[in-house]
Structures are given as C-alpha cells and as structure tokens.
Amino acid sequence: RGGGTASGPVSFMKGYDAFAGVIKSGGKTRRAAKMVILNIDHPDIHDFIRCKAEEEKKAWALIEAGYDGGFNVPGGAYDSVFYQNANHSVRVTDEFMQAVLDDREWSTRNVLDGDIAETYRARDLLRAMAEATHVCGDPGMQFDTTINRWHTCKATDRIYASNPCSEYMFLDDTACNLASLNLKRFVNAEGRFDVVDFIHAVDLTVTAMEILVDNSSYPTARIAANSHDYRPLGLGYANLGALLMSWGVPYDSEQGRATAAAITALMCGQAYATSARLASQSGAFPGYPRNEASMLEVIDLHRDQVRHIDAELIPGDLLVAAQDAWNRARTLGGEYGFRNSQVTVLAPTGTIGFLMDCDTTGVEPELALVKYKKLVGGGVMRIVNQSVEPALEHLGYGPQERLQILEHIEETGTSEGAPGLKPEHLAVFDCSFLPAGGTRSIHYLGHLRMMAAVQPFLSGAISKTINLPSSVTVEEISDAYLEAWRLGLKAVALYRDGSKRTQPLS
C-alpha cells in the first residue's frame, strides 16, 4: 500500500539461513539441516535457481583470498556466504517437464491473483538449473505430480514438501520415525539372503517404531497431533552397495537392480502387512477412514509393480516372499485398515551407517575402493572397502590371486590393472568416484536406474546423491534431470565431483 515492492522469498531465505547457522543440531558439531523448495511457477524462480551458485562463486573468491575453505569453520569462506545451511530444490510438475520436451513456453504466476508474471522458454529454466547444479550441486528437483500420485492420504491434503534429505515426503507438520537395517547382516552362512530372518526383522522393527510414535516428543503441538493421527514410519536399509559387490554383482547391472527391487519390495510389503496386523489389534490410524480409498489405491500401485521384477535374475524365494507380503498387506489392509499411513523411506544413513559397520550408506554404491572422510573437528579417516575380498572369493579367485589384487587396490585405489583380475569382472568394483589412477566409474544413468528400481516399493522417496565426474557437462546434467522424471523418481539431487572447494568424502 505504501508503494513498495515485495522483496520475495529469496531475500527472506537469507534471514532463515542465518538463523539456521546459529542454531546447531546434533549437539554442537553440526549446523541445522534445512530444505528450501520453490515451485516452478513462482515469479522469483529464476533468482531462486541461481542464488546458491552465486554465493558459491563468492566463497571461491574468499578461499583464493586466503579464507579457510572448510565447512563449519567460524569466519571461513563458507561461513561468510549465504544459503549454506539448506538444500535447495525446485518443485516441478509433469506439465512443466512436458513443456521442456515439447520446447514450449512456461509462465510464472503471481501467488495471490494467479495472473501471469513472466514467460520463459521451459528449456531455458531447466538449463539454468543444470548450470547452477554444475557449479555447486544445487538446486535439486522434486517431481510434484509423481509425489502426489503415490500419496496415501490425498483426502487430507496434498504433499507440498520434504525433509532436508528429501526421503520423507508427507503432509505438512508431520514427523517420521526412521530406522534402518544393515542388509549384509541377513546373508547366511551359505552366502544367500535369509528371507525368513529379514521378514522377522521388519516385523520387529516396524512394531518398535509404531510404539515410538506415542513415546516420542515433537517440536510443536500441531506436529504432535498430526504424527499421532497419521503415524508415518520410515523403515529403510543401508549397505546395499556392499551387499551387491560382495556377491560379485555390479551395482549398475540388471541383476543388481532386480536384487535391490526385490529386497525393497519385500521390506515395504512386509512393513504394510505388519501395520495392517497392528491395526487389527489397535485400530487404523485416525486419519485412515477419510483416506481409505487413496490408501488402498496406492497399496495396489505398489503391489502391481512387483510383477515387473525380472524373476530370472534373483533367487526365487525372495520374489515369492515379496509377492506374498504385498498380497497379505492388501488383504489385511482391506479388512482392518493400516496402523501407519507410510512405512518406508531410504534415508542417507550417514553417521548411523558407520556405527552399524556398513561399507555403504542407504541405497548408494561404494564411493571409492579407498576413500578418505574428513572428520568434524579435524583429521581424516582412511576407509578401505571391506567387500572386495568376499567378491573375489565369490567370483572364484584363489587366496594368492585375492591377495595380489587387494595389494594392488591398496596401493593404487583402483581395481584397474590388478594382476589376474578378469576384464569381465571390472564392473563389479566400479564406484561413484573416478579413482585417481583409473578410468572407470558408475555412469549417472546407473545411479538413476537403481533409484528407479526401488522407488515403486517405498512410501516416501530416496535420499541419494547422483555422483557425476568433474568433467560432466551442463547438457548431461540437464539430461539427467529429464531422465529422473521419465523413470518415475520423486526427487533427485546431483553432485559434480570437486565442484565445491571442499567435500566430506573423496
């Protein structure tokens, strides 16, 4: 009314970012984690897309001027620029992505009256995202239409956002109890995946998580009320990459994807079956009656996806167990409802992965055969992969051959050129990062296809970084975003190796 101009969300983000830098989470060693999302039709979307990349360039200048380039260093380069306490994501619809494919225009709209603000070429907006991601890894993308198609509680409201790591997506003002299973713990003495043990672990863990809903404390009364009314859970796993490698199965292979899909399908189907059994004793979650139709619709969507898993590539008992679990979930759920609106996500499992003695986190492949982790407070931990020797044994290499190959990897950081290693086995040891002395790494499509294999069997989404080599082009990043949408992912984040002047793992 006074003739001024609204400053918009990007300017207010600076304030929230500063507060997040002051408020420490996880004790005193970590800053708050925060997700910031803007819709693709917002008038300030262009500024939002570029804002973090512009600050990244300022950090580079400060580092070159002598400021400390480490994260969490008071007064350092990254401590002196904005937007470092948040992950940024652009929320896009199928309509926008189709406009990119068709090379059509895209209009942003005023928030209050819906009138057209500005009109862009849709491809120019996607390219701007790819350029910014090339610089600093942000923004990621969230696919709104896909997210809400798989939403179990459509009658209550839409899903607008996610947690900072993008795996938990549900109604506003809800909280999710997370837990993860170490997949390698379910390999029996014969080297096979123990389906019976895994089902038991899912039953036990889901029951424990359900008990936690009523015994947890929540930051606000509204979050507490919604968490009790919808009771969402986030069971997941870690060590998938290590499991596949130890079996001599390449991460980027049809067999690797089929194995991951079957394990994830069994976990989610069994979790929903357990939730339905709990509902038979304790009643469905209070928000279930109004959402019964959408909940059962999504259960059917999950169940129908099991038939797309290639039965010839995995043990028969694993696929049969997954099919049985989803049939039980649908039958029991149809009769009693479900105790929990959601049951599974794939979280990062970073710190807890190390505590659980995992080689790999979440759904990630190995980052490197030999990797270095910077420790908060200083120092570096050298981590040598523990899955190489069992993989070599599984592939038929003798003790002396294994020793020579392992010594080569210890010295060089790569399996390439290892004495006696057969060329057809090199793919088993491919990792996210290109090794210093090697030429092989997992292609970005390998990451995306693994996510696409497991996404149909998750209530939420996947926290995973698509690792790209430093040489990747802006066009390839743009193509990766398009492919993520085509494959049915709910969200995707890309990181070009070395794009930031400091990174925790190398």
- Any idea which residues carry the catalytic annotation? 163, 165, 167
C-alpha distances in angstroms, 412 versus 22, 290, 369, 386? Answer: 42, 59, 10, 16
Neighbours of 407 (CB within 10 A): 12
CA torsion 263-468-136-451 (nearest 10°) is: -20
Q: How far apart are CA 439 and CA 426, in angstroms?
A: 11
Q: Are 275 and 309 in contact (CB under 8 A)?
A: no
Work out the end-to-end distance of the chain between its first and last CA atoms, rounded to an integer number of angstroms: 53
Strand partners, 180: 236
SS3 state at 432? coil
**DSSP secondary structure letter of residue 163:** -
∠ Cα 222 294 487 (to 5°)? 100
Strands 380-384 and 370-374: antiparallel
Burial of 12 (0-12, 13-18, 19+ CB in 10 A): exposed
Neighbours of 402 (CB within 10 A): 18
**DSSP secondary structure letter of residue 224:** H
